Chains A and B, each alone.
Chain A
């Protein structure tokens, strides 16, 4: 019951993030916006005079252009300043309103101020599920120009079959000669806890600690397409008395595609991704396997309505370590089901689809999925749920659709 109150408080606090409610008493709302300028580090874009511009994303540019010719709306300016700040990772984005060239018109200037060095402590994600408990991460990031150093703590029993708890550290450079090439090096050290069903299923496969070194290079091939490749050097210490060290050294690659289509009423986003992890004995790995994972997400937005379809599929060939096995039944995929009941050792095949409808803060979803090993019969499971969502925060109740009793699962999450 306490957690329900936590959830309610989270959702109730979201309006705090909204803009000013005093706009209707603002005398300047009778003036018409004549032009909008956006100024960044060494560049200025005049939205009326400029044709195409590469500094601002098409979505923000479209929304800025939509303000021209309209009455001044300070709340909309605040909203766009927030979006510009996020897009440019800026310290501040101020907006100034000046008299326009003709009477009763105004010109708006957004001033983007970047910060060459900054330090931030953040909570990138957290989740609570009544079936699987708390999960979360905290990070501290120091950024100097294009380089950032991050150290954090994480305890997560949601994503994988294990609950991994430990430290994460990474270095990222977002500008290797060009902003189209990025580099990341990550080090993780985790202590692992296991569900009894997993331990009973295959005690030889579990490990007590896991360390990972992972250098990755990312190329922005074209605006909607990015390609990443690198290596993952994972070392696990067995649970057994010998505490043997096992290694899983793998080549990793991923492709991400994003496309946005927009017209006057509709906004459609396509996201597609493919991930490969190839553990190779030639690299000295104890595990030889190929893990392929595909993801497709379609988001359609019209006004306050959003429809999302999220499909995931995956195949593993060879013998993969437990952290790379597929799991279904968490706060993301096949919500409401318990992943340990479905497959406590994880599967080599996975297929899932989630359809979600959102209207303002309300959300309703229907999840389907199957997890199995090659050669086994495929059993599809379904779940349905409702909830409230505001930005990255979500409070939801999911019901696994199965014969017999109804066993709802309550979830509170952010960025999961």
Chain B
């Protein structure tokens, strides 16, 4: 029985070894994505740089176009001196993205006491604006001490909890359905990490501020 199977695989041009390599390659692509984070430094703040990170996907865009609603993302930027060690510094931000159905461009805002926002952006510029505004203060970091930076981003789906209150009172079926959704299935998330860095080695950018309006 094994012989015909090998023949059919060979005929298709994919060997067992090929399947094995392909299987191994899938996690490697994730690892490659994880090393795609860089950093820039303006003397005060560290900025994550991830030109290959695209979180305004077609799915997000279609939803924004179709509903004319907003999409929220939550980011967390962490600095740490040791792998697996306690964070040296951490900063969380929340970005609200909307898409103008007449102008066909993005507006991004960071809610809070001092709202920051930018409008008329392409998808790439909107993504870059979010990363730029996720900057973290570098004050107090030793210039020659190696550190790593991790950038985590997660889209926040509006949980449709109104469905829980059905016509028959509290719908346990809807409640189970909502709370049993696999994490990440509807809330895509990205985690990127830099190699070991030192402030000394980072090129200094001038005239840049994380507090742009």
Contacts and interface: CB of A to CB of B under 8 A. Distances in A.
Contact of B100 (A19, A27, A96, A123): A27
B67 to A, nearest CB: 6
Interface in A86-117: 86, 89, 95-99, 103-104, 106
Interface in A114-167: 119-125, 138-139, 141
Interface string A61-84: 000000000001010001000100
Interface string B79-122: 00000000000000000101111110001010100010101000
Contacts of A125: 169
Interface in B137-170: 158-159, 161-170
Given A25-B70, A74-B69, A120 B111 contact: no
B68 A17 contact: no
Nearest to B109: A25
A415 B115 CA distance: 41
B22 interface: no
Contacts, number: 98
A309 B111 CA distance: 43
A391 interface: yes
Contacts of B165: 17, 391-392
Contact of A123 (B69, B98, B115, B169): B169
Contacts of B98: 25-28
A123 B172 CA distance: 7
Interface in A8-38: 16-17, 19-20, 22-23, 25-28, 31
Contacts of B117: 25
B170 A414 contact: yes
A34 B22 CA distance: 53
A122 B168 contact: yes
Nearest to B159: A16
B169 A86 contact: no
Interface of A is mostly: mixed
B170 A74 contact: no
A28 B101 contact: yes
A124 B99 CA distance: 40
Contacts of A122: 166, 168-173
Contacts of A99: 101-102
Given A82-B162, A103-B102, A25 B96 contact: yes
Given A25-B109, A27-B119, A121 B172 contact: yes
Contacts of B201: none
Contacts of A139: 168
B167 A86 contact: yes
30 contacts: A16-B159, A17-B161, A17-B165, A19-B158, A22-B70, A23-B70, A25-B70, A25-B96, A25-B107, A25-B109, A25-B117, A26-B69, A26-B70, A27-B99, A27-B100, A28-B68, A28-B100, A31-B102, A82-B162, A95-B67, A97-B101, A99-B102, A103-B102, A106-B68, A120-B171, A123-B170, A123-B172, A391-B165, A414-B169, A414-B170
Interface of B: 66-70, 72, 96, 98-103, 107, 109, 111, 115, 117, 119, 158-159, 161-174
Interface of A: 16-17, 19-20, 22-23, 25-28, 31, 72, 74, 78, 82, 85-86, 89, 95-99, 103-104, 106, 119-125, 138-139, 141, 391-392, 414-415
